[in-house]
Amino acid sequence: MADSSVKIYFLGGLGEIGRNCMAIEQGRDILVVDAGLMFPEPSMYGIDIILPDFTWLIERAERVVGVVLTHGHEDHTGALRYLLRDVPTTIYGAPLTIGFAKHRLMEAKLPGSVAYVEVQDGETRKIGSFRVEFIPVTHSVPSAHALAITTEAGVIIHSGDFKFDQTPIDHRRSDIARLAALGDAGVRLLLADSTNAEQPGYTASESSVGVTLRRLVLERQDRRIVIACFASHLHRVQQILRIARESGRKVCLLGRSMEANVKLGRKLGEIDAEGVTFVSADSLDDIDPASVIVVCTGSQGEPMAALSRLARQDDRFFSVRASDTIILSSHPIPGNEWSVGRVIDDLHRLGAEVIHSDIEPVHASGHARQGELKTLHQLIRPVDFIPIHGEYRQMIHHADLAVEMGLASDHVWICEDGDVMEVTASSIKRAGTIPAEYHYIDGGDGDTSDQILDERRMLAEHGVLQVAGVVTTKPSLKLEGVTVSMRGWFDGKSTDDIRRHCENEVEDALLSAMKSGSLSEEEANKIARKTVGRLMGGKYRRQPVVMTAIAVI
Ligand SMILES: [Zn+2]
Ligand SMILES: [Zn+2]
């Protein structure tokens, strides 16, 4: 009898940073690991977020036995609300991870009820025909887990997002001993985070950031301090709270998600705010500036977040002064560099001192560098390895590292979104592909296609030109009442000039088309569109989106 096989479907996160999602199929059961979103590039006009294509899962909704979340970051949980709409199922994860996800799902007001199962560190859960063990790992959000998934093909380890931080803020280290034990017992397949696979050495400990922040605050006794960081980075926030406590400063939390996450963190015991005095933003004016630390969102230059509002002087209660020191305790996610740069410039314009990760080590990544990845490979020693979670080049570097660590290159597989791998106890092979296109979400819950996005790019780059007119066929063919309107470009000539050209050329084109018979309105518009397009490209060297409204009477 052939070995039982297990199939792995990569729905997102391979070849990009974001929309992490994969599915494992064993017999009838399908287990989903993470359901994340991705943020758009600036050229994706009007797009709010990008999701994995869930078509394959939706078509098999009744076979999905659960979604396991490795941790609470948006690139792992942010697409849940869209998945659960069509695939109602149970969500498994650490209490904090579930807490973050629940918050977002409640905002989304899903129609059906969602079942949540909170898991503890080291716990093993039977989910359908799978056994899933939640192994503690350190990352830039508390309570992250790697997963050991026992299948009929053997144990599959999914690293989640991780680093090996030996001095984490909550003293909860990655369970290296457990990973080693699993490695000793034999791991069929390793799937591991590739984000920092290009970086040699080791990722700095989160504690080292606290040391820097403490020094910067103590050196600035007479200044107001504003620190921006990810609202989900509770360990960063915890360190700031400790510094505030030690230096006798009050804390003001700015930004909706910062307030909500700190509240959740305190409720779950992830944040110790004992002895910290919190003040609200509307009382900042009455407080000695040197006696407060403001902790805010917006470290990625997000236009609506607190820091951008401060930079634009657009906050009701708080205006930035020359006596403020603003620390961006973060590193821009690829694609955000430009907006972060603008925010920093604007803060400088207001006279503030600005400190960011290029100036002082005020940030540490949450992802393993080569040193830690090598340790992981040494501990696990899998039969086969697939790099996940990263840009294509990062996955290639991770694959090279696996080979360097002793794995034969025919046991290392580069996969991309949509790829399917079939694994048995003794074999592994590629098994086709499934749909994995970008699924664009455009304001609210609206979907947007690639075609619409292309049109938006055309509009943005070339503008739009509309030609309207009336074709009379009796007594003779004539184009009358032509109007031309343009948006998004102007080449210095008057619209009259363009209108005259359009009028002449369109009339000629329609006339010659009429010679071979009558002309429908649809045909007339098509001809007009083509003619105007050609005229614009030839005479004006422009390619605006051409719209026509030609009536035939
Ligand atoms: Zn993460
Ligand atoms: Zn991630």
pLDDT in tens, 68-104: 999 999 999 999 999 999 999 999 999 999 999 998 8
Residue 313 token pair: 């002087």
Q: Please write the tens of the pLDDT for every residue from 258-303.
A: 999 999 999 999 999 999 999 999 998 889 999 999 999 999 998 8
Ligand 1 ion: residues within 5 Å (CB): 73, 161
**Helix, strand, coil share (%) of the chain residues, nearest 5:** 35, 25, 40
- What count of other Cβ atoms lies within 10 Å of the Cβ of residue 374? 16
Residues 6+ apart with CB under 8 A from 93: 68, 69, 70, 71, 72, 101, 116, 117, 118, 119, 145
What span, in angstroms and rounded, lies between the C-alpha atoms of 31 and 132?
10
* Structure-token pair, residue 223: 């200044």
Ligand 2 midpoint to CA 390 (Å): 9
CB atoms within 10 A of CB 239: 23
Instruction: Note whether 45 and 184 are same-domain residues.
Output: yes
Counting the structural domains of the chain, the total is 3
- For residue 514, the enclosing domain spans 463-552
d(CA 396, CA 377): 15
Burial class (CB in 10 A: 0-12, 13-18, 19+), 410: exposed
Q: Which two tokens stand for residue 137?
A: 């790992």
- Which CATH number goes with the domain that contains 245? 3.40.50.10710
Distance 36 CA to ligand 2 centre (A): 8
Q: Judge if 237 and 195 occupy the same domain.
A: no
**Assigned domain for 293 exists:** yes
Distance 344 CA to ligand 1 centre (A): 25
Beta-strand pair 419-423/428-433 = antiparallel
Tokens of 539: 């005479």
Q: How far is the CA of 70 from the centre of ligand 1 (A)?
A: 8
Coil, strand or helix at 348: helix
Examine the domain organization and report whether 240 and 95 are in the same domain: no
- How much is the pLDDT for 399? 98
* Single residue among 333, 355, 377 that ends a domain in this structure: 355
Phi, psi of 23 (to 5 degrees): -130, 145
Looking at residue 112, its amino acid is G
Q: Is 53 within a domain?
A: yes
Q: How far is the CA of 320 from the centre of ligand 1 (A)?
A: 31
488 with 537, same domain: the answer is: yes
Task: Show which of 302, 326, 355 is a domain's final residue.
Answer: 355
| 157 and 254 share one domain | no
What is d(CA 7, CA 150) in angstroms, rounded to the nearest whole number?
13
Do residues 24 and 172 both lie within one domain?
A: yes
Q: Could you tell me if residue 104 is inside a domain?
A: yes
241 and 254 belong to one structural domain: yes
Q: How far is the CA of 128 from the centre of ligand 1 (A)?
A: 26
Q: How do residues 146-167 score in pLDDT, each as one tens digit?
A: 999 999 999 999 999 999 999 9
Task: Say what the pLDDT of residue 478 is.
Answer: 79
Respond yes or no on whether the N-terminal peptide bond of residue 475 is cis (omega within 30° of 0).
yes
Centre of ligand 2 from the C-alpha of residue 71, in Å: 8
* Domain end marker among 423, 448, 473: 448
Residue 491: band (very low, low, confident or very high) from pLDDT cuts 50, 70, 90:
low
Question: What contacts 242, CB < 8 A, 6 or more positions away?
Answer: 210
CA-CA distance, 442 to 136, in Å (whole number)? 36
Q: Quick one: average pLDDT of 328-344? A: 92
Mean per-residue pLDDT for 427-432?
A: 98
pLDDT class of 481 with cuts at 50, 70, 90? confident
Flag whether 436 is in a domain: yes
The answer to the question of residue 280 being in a domain is yes
Q: Tell me what the mean pLDDT of segment 332-360 comes to.
A: 94
Does any domain span residue 18?
yes
Contact 123, 134 (CB under 8 A): yes
Are 163 and 41 in a shared domain? yes
Distance 297 CA to ligand 2 centre (A): 19
Q: Which segment of 105-114, 419-428, 484-493 scores lowest on mean pLDDT?
A: 484-493
CA of 79 to the centre of ligand 2 (A): 13
Number of neighbours of residue 222 by Cβ within 10 angstroms: 8
- Statement to judge: residues 349 and 238 lie in one domain: yes
487 and 545 housed in the same domain: yes
pLDDT at res. 493: 63
Structure token pair of residue 9? 């479907």
Q: Are residues 52 and 154 in the same domain?
A: yes
Identify the CATH number of the domain in which residue 50 sits: 3.60.15.10
* 323 and 371 belong to one structural domain: no
- Residue 211 belongs to some domain of the structure: yes
* Nearest ligand atom owner, CA of 100: 1
Domain with residue 494: its CATH number is 3.10.20.580
CA of 346 from ligand 1 middle (Å) equals: 29
Question: Is 90 among the domain residues?
Answer: yes
